[in-house]
Chains A and B, each alone.
Chain A
Amino acid sequence: MSDALWTHDGYEMVVGLEVHVELATKTKLFSASPNRFGDEPNTNIDPVTLGLPGALPVLNRHAVELAMRVGLALNCTVQACTFARKNYFYPDMPTSYQISQFEDPLNIDGWLDLPDGSRVGIERAHMEQDAGKSSHVGGGEGRVHGAEHSLIDLNRAGVPLVEIVSRPDIRSPEQARQYVTEMRAILLAIAASDAKMEEGSMRVDANVSVRRPGAEFGTRCEIKNVNSVRSVGRAIEYEAKRQILMVKAGESIRQQTRHWDEGDGRTHTLRDKEDADDYRYFLEPDLVPLQPSDEWIEEVRAGLPMLPAARRARLAEATGLDADSEAVGSIVDRGQDDYAFAVQSAGGDLGRAVVHLKEAFAEMGASPALPAADLAGLTSLEVDGKLTATQAKTVVAELIERGGGDAAAIAAEKGFEAMDTSELEAMVDDAIAAQPDAWEKFRAGEGKAMGALVGHIMKASRGQADGKLVTQILNARK
């Protein structure tokens, strides 16, 4: 659960996040080169990508559509917008300017509701192009400092991005983690991006300041290189504590861009505000204003799928589990909730299906290669007491391996038959006889001692006994 009341020495953190997302288009934002990760360097290029003299950008309609999906999924208003040039020199920026949106972004004024019940405002979600990638050879750890030379790969240059800028509404590391996790789930659900933080198709920068609760905002620092959900929380917590220490020591915070180092768990100065580029924004004269028609906006809105929060609520209600339980969260994350309902529709038991999905389907996507009816068959056997949970697990593994089949037949092949209680009662007798010490301790209320007895029975039954039933019998005998 969210630790909404994060404070440190009487100070709170004020955090806004900027999330950069690469859109899952076939081609780049302004040219026909493929938008594909992992290809040979400098193969997905063309005159526009290379920034050759005379080349002109042409806006990719699909990218606009995906950017609108992002905005609409985040409850933004989609508006008429313009493109601007952000001017700065960097070797992997071929034109020495980035085409972005400045004064009139595509999406404005939305929000994102987090599982903990809090709401984070979205200021804007605008379109822009990605830069290429530099790698530095001969220096320490691939850093530019001390490198002998640098290599540039322009495959990523011109890939469409949406930059989602939150309002400074985040007050704890856990809230930041939830924001990023929920954002990622939404992006995946609406198929706008593959949102892989490890591949850089989703990147997070954090703006962090501190203050006494209710006081004016403090001076903020921007933290770069926050590349996992875990490091989002760690980085802002470190940074907030660093600032609080300084403020308490009477020092003033300088507005800086800082780099999060995952290795030492600290943020380090990249540059001071005075050293920041003056980007000299102006309207991109090679493009015309973009005015999505109301029909287009409504068409995109109508095409949005049910979003993760609603899907979690739906699954939670149907199963009686908590909406923020691990089972519900992980199944919805993987997009397997529709599959769970399909199992139910096929006559299966939703609760048992969720148990199997949570464990055995972790490596699978939204469309498991196992007919829902087959899993339904298995859950029916369980509910009818014809298979123990342990046996069911084995059968599920077998079903997955075979890509389907009749659960009853597999159970028969494996020689599984649910034992009747008389057999179990006898085994419990044997166990008590074999482990009298454990039995005495268990009777005296030492819960741990039950493990030895259950272990004995499981061993004797070669794992086939129903653990739950054994526990019941033991407790009844006590």
Chain B
Amino acid sequence: MADFSTASEIAAGVRSGQLKAVDVLEQHLATVDARDAEIHAFNHVMADEARQQAAAVDATVAAGDDPGPLAGVPVALKDNMCTRGIPTTCSSKILEGWTPPYDGTVVTRLHESGAVAIGKTNLDEFAMGSSTENSAFGPTRNPLDTNLVPGGSSGGSAAAVAAGFSPLSFGSDTGGSIRQPAALCGVVGVKPTYGRVSRYGLVAFASSLDQIGPFTHTVADAALALQVVCGHDPMDSTSIPDPVPDYSALLDRGVEGMRIGRITDLPAGADPDVAERTEQAFDALAANGATIVDVEVPAFTYGLTAYYIIAPAEASSNLARYDGVRYGLRVDAPDTNAMYSATRAAGFGDEVKRRILLGTYALSAGYYDAYYGKALKIRRLMAQDFAKAYEQADVLLTPASPSVAFPFGTKTADPFSMYLCDTYTIPANLTGEPGMSVPFGTGQDDLPVGVQVLAPALAEPVMLQVAAELERNAPTEGGRS
């Protein structure tokens, strides 16, 4: 993997005056120019706005002031995060041409911390998918091997970091959409506790599951980024009011005496290379003084099923506003109902339509109890099971993705095979607890493997502590033979 500057290095350099934000930006824009035609990480590059912001950061430093903890750090934003005056498409034709009149809270916080937003990244349409192949504007390619998918749905954001377009990017994770592409692109990806990061300005897929989080090269960068975006927001009623801890505090502490949980009834399905690296991760932590404990999470197996009821149900309602009346695409027709149908038929892709239909069905009179009601029960069971597991273990370790990056088209014909990509990541969305993927060596074809660290609600510092230990102990020998 190429040796890119980290966000921490850039911010330190810019704040101390050793680096100019404008120079940092131009380097990154040059990399985008050189490679993004092939990768297609970006739907929209904000070169002009970025140059203004970088110049403003340099001016702040020149005036003797501190631009903030992310001074001059180029950041890429998933194209489902509202940016004032900049198109926000969700990689859907139905939002093509729409420009939000407001910034989401995360975008505002990044701006205020001195970060330089350089563009909007590609995604599976409305964040529905695990390969970024569902984008209306064409897929994103994995920078490590352009014949392979970057994962999804935040494939553009993962690829942006992996390709060196920006040392920091943000995605959203509804069922694994940060952690799985992070694993497939060999970068760090964090889904924080639900409510820790404001959703205001994040275009909703499934409101009770969606959470924004960062992609970075290092765990330390992830901690730095979380420090900026986490915290209460009165504009999001589900935002958690608790004070934000110091996410970097425990990174160097090691795992001595910690209890690392191994889920004995974890659903099968991980490829051997991924399973092997995950085992090695347990070994590495044990070798550094942690205790490995076996725990059971019986509901884990039902996560995928419950998720594919709850997420589509909420999506069917969240996406109902794309009716052609006020903004985005409108396909004219003789009457209002026909206009709705024509607009939505033309504007949404197949996967989005499939989920709207699934969700509408699951909430329908006569079916609610059998589907949505049961899924909610599983969700409650899941929370109980994890609560019990966390009585025995400080964190849990699983694979982030069942496989390394796969070739385009291998899972598109069978939606269920694509859904299985999220087997290990979905439960944390259902419980609202944090999870992250940290690169841990490589598997088949020398492709990166991500190990997932799961932790109880608001235990990000501990999760990052363990991830940092895995990062220090990541195998360096190649998996390709």
Contacts and interface: CB of A to CB of B under 8 A. Distances in A.
Interface of A: 47, 50-59, 85, 87, 89, 91, 94-97, 150, 152, 278, 280-282, 285-288
A94 B326 contact: yes
A57 B104 contact: no
B235 interface: yes
A272 B103 CA distance: 44
Interface in B76-102: 80-82, 88, 90, 95, 98, 100-102
Contacts of A287: 237-238
Nearest to B320: A96
14 contacts: A47-B101, A47-B102, A50-B326, A53-B88, A53-B98, A53-B100, A54-B201, A59-B237, A95-B321, A97-B317, A150-B336, A278-B365, A280-B360, A285-B206
B207 A286 contact: yes
B317 A280 contact: yes
Contacts of B271: none
B208 A285 contact: yes
Interface in B163-220: 199-204, 206-208
Contacts of A52: 82, 100-102, 327
B317 A56 contact: no
Interface in B344-403: 360, 363-365, 368, 372
B236 interface: yes
A53 B82 contact: yes
A280 B364 contact: yes
B321 A51 contact: yes
A51 B322 CA distance: 10
A150 B325 CA distance: 11
Contact of B321 (A53, A56, A280, A285): A53
B269 interface: no
Contact of A96 (B237, B323, B336, B365): B323
A54 B326 contact: no
Given A53-B82, A97-B320, A91 B327 contact: no
A288 B325 contact: no
B137 interface: no
A285 B102 CA distance: 22
A52 B84 CA distance: 12
Nearest to B372: A282
A284 B141 CA distance: 37
B364 A89 contact: no
Contacts of A59: 237
Main secondary structure of the interface of A (DSSP, over half): loop
Interface in B221-237: 234-237
A265 to B, nearest CB: 30
B469 interface: no
Given A94-B326, A286-B237, A288-B238, A54 B100 contact: yes
Contacts of A152: 325
B237 A95 contact: no
A58 B326 contact: no
B90 A85 contact: no
A152 B336 CA distance: 13
Given A54-B203, A58-B237, A282-B313, 17 more contacts: A47-B101, A51-B326, A53-B100, A53-B321, A54-B104, A56-B200, A56-B236, A59-B237, A85-B317, A89-B320, A89-B340, A152-B325, A278-B364, A278-B365, A280-B364, A285-B208, A285-B314
A360 B90 CA distance: 65
Nearest to B81: A54
Contacts of A282: 313-314, 317, 363, 368, 372
B479 to A, nearest CB: 40
Contacts of A50: 326-327
Instruction: Report which residue of A87, A278, A285, A288 has the largest number of chain B beta carbons within 10 angstroms of its beta carbon.
Output: A285
Contact of A54 (B202, B320, B336, B372): B202
A413 to B, nearest CB: 63
Interface of B: 80-82, 88, 90, 95, 98, 100-102, 104, 199-204, 206-208, 234-238, 313-314, 316-317, 320-321, 323, 325-327, 336-337, 340, 360, 363-365, 368, 372
A54 B321 CA distance: 11
B238 A286 contact: yes
Contact of B237 (A47, A51, A280, A288): A288
Contacts of A53: 82, 88, 90, 95, 98, 100, 203-204, 321
A326 B29 CA distance: 80
Nearest to A287: B237
Contacts of B80: 54
A127 to B, nearest CB: 14
Query: Which of A152, A278, A288 has the most chain B CB atoms closer than 10 A to its own CB?
Result: A278
Contacts of A281: 363
A97 B238 CA distance: 19
A411 to B, nearest CB: 62
Contacts of B98: 53
Contacts of B202: 54
A280 B81 CA distance: 28
A55 B363 CA distance: 23
Given A52-B100, A53-B95, A89 B323 contact: yes
B281 to A, nearest CB: 34
B92 to A, nearest CB: 10
A54 B101 contact: no
A286 B210 CA distance: 11
B206 to A, nearest CB: 8
A280 B340 contact: no
Contacts of A278: 364-365
B320 A95 contact: yes
Nearest to B361: A280
Given A51-B326, A58-B234, A280-B364, A87 B203 contact: no
Given A50-B326, A53-B88, A58 B235 contact: yes
Contacts of B326: 50-51, 94
B237 A54 contact: no
A136 to B, nearest CB: 11
Nearest to A30: B237
A54 B82 contact: yes
A89 B344 CA distance: 12
Contacts of B364: 278, 280
A152 B326 CA distance: 10
A97 B365 CA distance: 16
Nearest to A92: B325
Contacts of A150: 336
A56 B237 contact: yes
Contact of A57 (B90, B237, B337, B363): B237
A287 B316 CA distance: 18
B120 to A, nearest CB: 13
A286 B208 CA distance: 7
Contacts of B235: 56, 58
B325 A54 contact: no
Nearest to A154: B326
Nearest to A87: B317
A57 B199 CA distance: 11
A54 B363 contact: no
Contacts of A89: 320, 323, 337, 340
Contacts of B237: 56-59, 286-288
B79 to A, nearest CB: 11
A97 B321 CA distance: 8
A53 B202 CA distance: 7
A282 B336 CA distance: 26
B337 to A, nearest CB: 8
B363 A280 contact: yes
B82 to A, nearest CB: 4
A285 B321 CA distance: 16
Given A47-B102, A152-B325, A56 B199 contact: yes
Nearest to A47: B102
Contacts of A96: 317, 320-321, 323
A150 to B, nearest CB: 8
Contact of B336 (A58, A85, A91, A288): A91
Contact of A94 (B201, B321, B372): B321
